Amino acid sequence: MPKIDLSVSPVDVTRQLCDIESVSGDEARVSDAIWQTLEGLDHLELFRDGDAIVARTNLGRAERVVIAGHIDTVPLNDNLPTRYETEDGVDYLWGRGTVDMKAGSAVHLRLAVELTAPAVDVTWVWYDHEEVSDSLNGLGRLVRTRPDLMTADFAILGEPTGSAIEGGCNGNLRAEIRTFGRRSHSARSWIGDNAIHRAAAVLDILAAYEAREVEVDGLVYREGLNAVGVSGGVAGNVIPDECMVHVNYRFAPSRSAGEAEAHIRELFDGFDVTIVDLAAGARPGLDAPLAAAFLAAVGGEAKPKYGWTDVARFSALGIPAVNYGPGDPLLAHHDDERVPVQQILDNERGLRAWLTA
Amino acid sequence: MPKIDLSVSPVDVTRQLCDIESVSGDEARVSDAIWQTLEGLDHLELFRDGDAIVARTNLGRAERVVIAGHIDTVPLNDNLPTRYETEDGVDYLWGRGTVDMKAGSAVHLRLAVELTAPAVDVTWVWYDHEEVSDSLNGLGRLVRTRPDLMTADFAILGEPTGSAIEGGCNGNLRAEIRTFGRRSHSARSWIGDNAIHRAAAVLDILAAYEAREVEVDGLVYREGLNAVGVSGGVAGNVIPDECMVHVNYRFAPSRSAGEAEAHIRELFDGFDVTIVDLAAGARPGLDAPLAAAFLAAVGGEAKPKYGWTDVARFSALGIPAVNYGPGDPLLAHHDDERVPVQQILDNERGLRAWLTA
């Protein structure tokens, strides 16, 4: 695998990375290319763990920052190779991975090579398996197997934010709420007990729920409580004895995972509640001095991140972390995934301004 | 295929019919056996249409009665061959088809051969494909292709009623009621519109519905309106844009199919309603002179039939019809399907008493 050509614009570096297909589990080639590009540089100490690569400066600076991004993508859908396109006067780079999140990883790669003496020590991370099961996540693996490499005073994750700074993230809980009844033939329904009718009360709670808006460290997080699935029924002539409502609760990072679970259990008191997924959010930590300096250098106003991201892994380690990357998160995983080229340039400029301040 | 041996008790005739497997679509062997048994009898005119057999007397009586039963069963589940068993002092014949409804068909077969000069002309019918799609139903096929054979003043269907007389049947409607919304990522649920939450109103209507009890021709029919299925959801992180509640309405025979549909459309006004199945019920017609005489001969008190049965096909032809057969309908299709032998004897005695009066 040849090196990535970094002599071109960060947009064209993004294009090179995207055109090396790397659906989760198939990251070896793009990981090899990044390794070749970084190998032999005096200012970087390199590590590889599976298809994750860590490159760090050791300048003895007072503070260290992790700057991380994943190199895998969701499956293709006829959206590679990349191409340029212009719409309403805006230039885009189109294709799988342009938003989520090789534009961010390309900017990181260029800066890792270019900035031989950044203002803070930097631990650059390119990792695998972000788009699949949590147990495979490359950043999670590094945290477990090489915690020494993950120590830092601040972390920046290159997930798409439209190149604005989005602090922290909401937590995420999924629960299955079941109602039970008794089967009977529907011609004699009074012998049975309809579990789907009993689920009306569960849906009523959801429909009436007023989601909170919660200020955390100066950012307002909007919560959400929703049915994302419902299922029940045996046959067209049978009174059903079970119904399941699949609920998703997105909760502000001021609420712990345990508190979120307690809230759901209280709300659905009397129903059968099984928690099937639970991940704490991340506080934005924008009051940390490094974060404040970063915000000042990049400019603009920080916003809350609603979707759960790997910043929560840093938050769990006590490291303040923000999301900062090119691209509209609503286009992530979209068949028409595309990033405005200007956002790639802005993102590089913002990171460079801060790291060279 | 040898003849059925009719020299034994109706219980043992039932056993012979049951032990010839005849899951719907595979009725040829049992149909052949019935044909062989009836062939060559002077008092019966025989017809065959597929695996349906019609045998009728032509005595010039003032009135004609159809006495019908199906010869297919639902699939086996290790419940053949038949066996005798006794529980709490009650003797049973156990096995697939004993209740639904070869006991009734066995009684009919014995009486068809034995009663050479019944008090009314009788059209005996053994038909196929009752347990499957309506379009395959053998009685429905005879009504379409040989309406001349189906004319009568009264009809008796041997479906299980515990050997009581159950008049008419409720109608049956199934509808799919859909709610719609707008998809979004569940991390930004306020951008979407949750179709499952909108279905809360549908379930509320169902849970609050008070089903009617309606007197028709002296019998009280109990109605029922139930969700028999609910489904919705795209993925664990997506606000769903569609939800479907599958509703089953069992309605008294005083209500026409059109009136039943209008009731459902009014009840769920504002929702998307698709009728997927609609069959009118059958009035009991117990005020007809033949029905009254039958009731008097058999004794006991007539009850309403709740489940939809093929009596509705006679009702649609303007022929009063009742259900009268051995076995508990709640055990039909059950793996432990079994019939008290006394009910087979009672059923034969009842029919014989009336036909020889």
Cβ B344 vs Cβ B10: under 8 Å: yes
Residue A203: Cβ-neighbour burial (10 angstroms; 0-12, 13-18, 19+): buried
Same domain, A185 and A85: no
Tokens matching residue A125: 């991370």
Q: What is the pLDDT of residue B163?
A: 85
Rounded to an integer, what distance in angstroms lies between the CA atom of residue A336 and that of residue A341? Answer: 15
SS3 content of chain A, % helix, strand, coil (to 5): 35, 30, 40
* Residues of A designated catalytic: 72, 130
Instruction: Assess whether pLDDT exceeds 90 at residue B271.
Output: yes
Out of B87-96, B171-180, B295-304, pick the least confident: B295-304
Q: What is the pLDDT of residue B223?
A: 97
Chain B, window 205-244: residues with a beta carbon less than 8 angstroms from a chain A beta carbon:
206-207, 211, 222, 224, 226-240, 243
Cβ B279 vs Cβ B262: under 8 Å: no
CATH of the domain at B215: 3.30.70.360
Average pLDDT over residues B110-120: 98
Residue with tokens 């497997």: B21
Measured in angstroms, the CA of A193 and the nearest CA of chain B are apart by 10
Q: Identify whether A3 is part of a domain.
A: no
* Residues of B designated catalytic: 72, 130
Instruction: Assess whether pLDDT exceeds 90 at residue B270.
Output: yes
ipTM of the complex: 0.84
Is some CB atom of chain B closer than 8 A to the CB atom of A278? no
Which of A182, A166, A258, A259 has its CA nearest to residue A220? A166
Rounded to an integer, what distance in angstroms lies between the CA atom of residue B355 and that of residue B116? Answer: 10
CATH of the domain at B146: 3.40.630.10
Measured in angstroms, the CA of A237 and the nearest CA of chain B are apart by 7
Same domain, A35 and A137: yes
Instruction: Assess whether pLDDT exceeds 90 at residue B34.
Output: yes
Measured in angstroms, the CA of B132 and the nearest CA of chain A are apart by 13
Q: Which of B189, B230, B306 sits opposite A188 (nearest CB)?
A: B306
Q: What is the pLDDT of residue B159?
A: 95
| H-state helical runs in chain A | 10-19, 28-38, 103-114, 138-145, 195-198, 200-208, 257-267, 289-298, 311-316, 341-355
Give bridge partners of residue B199 from the DSSP assignment: none
Rounded to an integer, what distance in angstroms lies between the CA atom of residue A301 and that of residue A306? Answer: 16
Same domain, B204 and B114: no
Average pLDDT over residues B330-347: 93
Q: Identify whether A4 is part of a domain.
A: no
Q: Identify whether A2 is part of a domain.
A: no
Which of B302, B306, B339, B186 has its CA nearest to residue A223? B186
Is some CB atom of chain A closer than 8 A to the CB atom of B89? no
Of B247, B263, B279, the one marking the end of a domain is B279
Same domain, A118 and A193: no
Same domain, A79 and A179: no
Average pLDDT over residues B42-55: 98
Instruction: For residue range B126-167, list pLDDT tens digits in order.
Output: 999 999 888 899 999 999 999 999 999 999 999 999 989 999
Return the DSSP state at B76: P
Measured in angstroms, the CA of B161 and the nearest CA of chain A are apart by 14
Q: Which of A222, A231, A277 sits opposite B230 (nearest CB)?
A: A231
Instruction: For residue range B281-312, list pLDDT tens digits in order.
Output: 999 888 888 998 999 988 888 999 988 999 99
Domain, as residue range, for B185: 171-279
Per-residue CA distances from B308 to A181, B281, B329 (Å): 24, 7, 12
Residue A353: Cβ-neighbour burial (10 angstroms; 0-12, 13-18, 19+): middle
Which of B48, B27, B52, B28 has its CA nearest to residue B39? B48
Rounded to an integer, what distance in angstroms lies between the CA atom of residue B76 and that of residue B350? Answer: 30
Q: Identify whether B269 is part of a domain.
A: yes
**CA of residue B134 relative to chain centroid, distance:** 11
Q: Identify whether A141 is part of a domain.
A: yes
User: What angle is formed at CA B32 by the lines to CA B26 and CA B34, rounded to 5 degrees?
Assistant: 110
Q: Which residues in chain A touch residue B248, judged by CB atoms under 8 angstroms apart?
A: 186, 236-237
Banded pLDDT at B194 (limits 50, 70, 90): very high
Q: What is the pLDDT of residue A248?
A: 97
Rounded to an integer, what distance in angstroms lies between the CA atom of residue B321 and that of residue B326? Answer: 17
Q: Which of B172, B199, B233 sits opposite A203 (nearest CB)?
A: B199
Return the DSSP state at B81: S
Same domain, B101 and B223: no
Same domain, A67 and A158: yes
Mean pLDDT, contiguous 10-residue spans, chain A (357 residues) = 92 98 97 98 98 98 97 93 97 97 98 98 97 91 96 96 92 97 91 96 98 94 97 92 97 96 98 95 88 89 91 92 94 92 96 94
Same domain, A34 and A154: yes
Residue B43: Cβ-neighbour burial (10 angstroms; 0-12, 13-18, 19+): middle
- What are the residues whose beta carbons fall under 8 Å from the beta carbon of B283, sequence distance 6 or more? B167, B168, B216, B217, B253, B254, B315, B320
Three-state secondary-structure class, residue B217 = coil
Of B243, B258, B279, the one marking the end of a domain is B279
Of A250, A279, A308, the one marking the end of a domain is A279
Q: Identify whether A140 is part of a domain.
A: yes
Residue A245 to residue B196, Cβ atoms within 8 A: yes
Tokens matching residue B277: 């199945």
Residue A230 to residue B226, Cβ atoms within 8 A: no
Same domain, B59 and B152: yes
Same domain, B37 and B138: yes
Same domain, B273 and B286: no
Same domain, A176 and A161: no
Residue B197 to residue A226, Cβ atoms within 8 A: yes
Q: Identify whether B1 is part of a domain.
A: no
Q: What is the pLDDT of residue B330?
A: 86
Q: Identify whether A1 is part of a domain.
A: no
Q: Which of B227, B230, B237 sits opposite A248 (nearest CB)?
A: B237
Return the residue in B188, B234, B275, B277 with the most chain A beta carbons within 10 A, the one to mutate for interface testing: B188
Q: Which residues in chain A touch residue B206, judged by CB atoms under 8 angstroms apart?
A: 194, 196-197, 200
**How many distinct structural domains can be found in chain B?**
2
Average pLDDT over residues B31-58: 98
Three-state secondary-structure class, residue B176 = strand
Instruction: Assess whether pLDDT exceeds 90 at residue B323.
Output: yes
What is the pTM (predicted TM-score) of this model?
0.83
Q: What are the backbone angles phi and psi of residue A230, rounded to the nearest 5°?
A: -150, 140
| A187, closest residue in chain B (CA to CA) | B307
Chain B, window 96-125: residues with a beta carbon less than 8 angstroms from a chain A beta carbon:
none
Measured in angstroms, the CA of B274 and the nearest CA of chain A are apart by 15
Residue with tokens 């003797």: B91
